[in-house]
Amino acid sequence: MPATELYENDRVLAHERGHRFDVMSKEGRGARWMDIQLNIGDLHDAMVLAGDTIAYETGVFVRGFLYWSSAYPEIFNSTVIKIRIEGQG
């Protein structure tokens, strides 16, 4: 699991925007994503769960978009955190 400081700014913004996270896994190349836990309120909690999950690949999703994957652990898709939920300023 990546160090917390690598995604802390995203964590703060996600909290401010009210984002929820889904942790999913794949059991092999080309396999479908399977739910591990949905609707997690904190990015750090989602990242810890994804890091602790033993699978071919694990991912953290926000609003249906991949934020982080164990296949490319150094890459964070911060763009999906910047999405505003309808009704927010």
Q: What is the pLDDT of residues 34-44, one digit of tens each?
A: 999 999 999 99
**What is the rounded average pLDDT of the residues 43-58?**
97
pLDDT at position 88 is 52
CA distances to 4, 26, 66, 81, 88 from 71, rounded to whole Å, are 18, 11, 12, 20, 33
What is the average pLDDT across 58-83? Answer: 95
Query: For the chain, where are the alpha helices, taking DSSP H only?
Result: 8-17, 43-52
Domain ranges of the chain: 4-82
Q: State the CB neighbour count (10 A cutoff) for residue 42.
A: 14
